[in-house]
Chains A and B, each alone.
Chain A
Amino acid sequence: MNRQVLITALVLTLFAAIGGGLVSYTEQSTASQIRVNDKMMLLHSLKSLLPAQRYDNDLASSAISIAPHQLLGTTKTSRAYSATKNTDTVAFIFNVIANNGYNGKIYLLIGVYTDGSIAGVRVVRHKETPGLGDAIDENRSSWILNFNQHSLSSLTEKQWKVKRDGGYFDQFTGATITPRAVVNAVHNTLLYYQQHKAVLLQATTKPVSPKE
């Protein structure tokens, strides 16, 4: 009886070892490719926020850590990216979460020029209703481009809202909650930038990495 149990345990261990071995082998051989993919994807979305002639640094490796902040909708340390040209900081790109979407969180990338105007906004991930709320996605409609160039000075506090709430931005037919959440998140990001501008600019000038 004992012998049988032992054999059974051994067989099971053997299979666990083989399975584990194969998985870790695959993990090792794909890890670098996966890292390259993730970086490419990040770079691709970062690039879509800024016109190429406005900056000359490697955006993906310009990350700075941002402490969680209510205005960014973050509860954990998030990343921001800084765009520089001739070592002058031109813009910051923030990872922002709109927590009041229709169906959970909306993850955004928001680019802000140093003068406080919006460079661009993109939706990274969302679960809004297909066909209604997903018009915030650049693939579905150009609505998200309406934010470009706007700032806290180009629109008043009251105008940073959807039209239904008496503001400047359109809502979509059948979906007010989603655009309201996005407009709110963009507005908050500008407020955040206004409050933290000095610190952010200092953070980027600190690590002066010589480029090739």
Chain B
Amino acid sequence: MSADYQKISQDGLWTNNVALVQLLGLCPLLAVTGTFINGLGLGLATLLTLILSNASVSAIRHWVRPEIRIPVFVLIIASIVTIIEMLMHAWVPGLYNILGIFIPLIVTNCSIIARAESFAAKNPVLPSVIDGFMMGAGFLLVLVVLGGLRELIGFGTLLDHSYLMFGETARSWTLSFADGYRGFLLAVLPPGAFIGLGLLIAGKNYIELRKTKHQTVKLQPVIENSSTA
């Protein structure tokens, strides 16, 4: 069973990453990743939604007839997202105002219903929760990396506006690199999001490719020789 969890984790974080491999939830991903903190905020909200929706879908999986499972899943996800939205409005209003429409739009993030349908509906609660957590964490990581990169290149800062999430003490967290950096506008604008995501996907594929090449080179030195000769 523990090996199983390892596979779930690896799938969520890397092999089957929501954003880099499944390419789901791209609309919020591209739209909010202007800064590190925006990415973190939406990432955490999505992560929480995934965990809760996977847990509840898995818990009720024996009681729901197959023909109505999709409406039920949608109901569950919509309720969870609405609740999270209200809680954010109440407790982190600054961030809520920035993320605005993208919090309710988590409902339409296909990765959530995809996990409910393809994993949580077929597995017990604990693995489903772990799957939700890992998938969410994989999405969160991409959001944060892309947000951080765009903020760094676009504004020359990191962690700007973190007080919106962590309170007034975080006002001094902003890291500023290179004083007088005038910013690279393209990174902040929508094309920067597409280019950045493209580069991240390319980077992931490159690492995968190198890994497999490494293995095949080790395995087949003989075949390589005979074919080139």
Contact = CB atoms under 8 A, between A and B. Distances in A.
A33 B93 CA distance: 10
B90 A12 contact: no
Is chain B's interface secondary structure helix, strand, loop, or mixed overall?
helix
Given A37-B89, A131-B154, A11 B83 contact: no
Contacts of A23: 79, 82-83, 86
A8 interface: yes
Interface in A31-47: 33-34, 37-38, 40-41
Nearest to B188: A130
A130 B72 contact: no
Interface in A1-54: 4, 7-8, 11-12, 15-16, 18-20, 22-23, 26-27, 30, 33-34, 37-38, 40-41
Contacts, number: 66
B185 A12 contact: no
A173 B63 CA distance: 63
Contacts of B4: none
Interface in B89-110: 89-91, 93, 97
B79 A27 contact: no
Interface in A100-138: 129-132
Nearest to B97: A41
Interface residues of A, number: 25
A212 B92 CA distance: 32
A131 B190 CA distance: 13
A11 B185 contact: no
Contacts of B87: 26, 30
A41 B89 CA distance: 12
B102 to A, nearest CB: 14
Contact of B188 (A18, A34, A131): A131
A11 B78 contact: no
Given A37-B89, A131-B183, A131-B185, A11 B63 contact: yes
Interface string B135-171: 0000000000000000000110000000000000000
Nearest to B184: A131
Interface string A71-108: 00000000000000000000000000000000000000
Contacts of B188: 130-131
Contacts of B76: 15, 19
A38 B90 CA distance: 9
B211 interface: no
A146 B127 CA distance: 59
Interface residues of B, number: 28
Contact of B185 (A15, A19, A22, A132): A132
B183 A20 contact: no
Given A19-B79, A20-B79, A26 B86 contact: yes
A205 B183 CA distance: 50
A51 B35 CA distance: 32
B67 interface: yes
Contact of B86 (A7, A30, A41): A30
Interface string B110-149: 0000000000000000000000000000000000000000
A11 B185 CA distance: 52
B89 A15 contact: no
Contacts of A7: 65
A76 B68 CA distance: 43
Interface string B181-224: 00101001100000000000000000000000000000000000
Contact of B68 (A11, A22, A131): A11
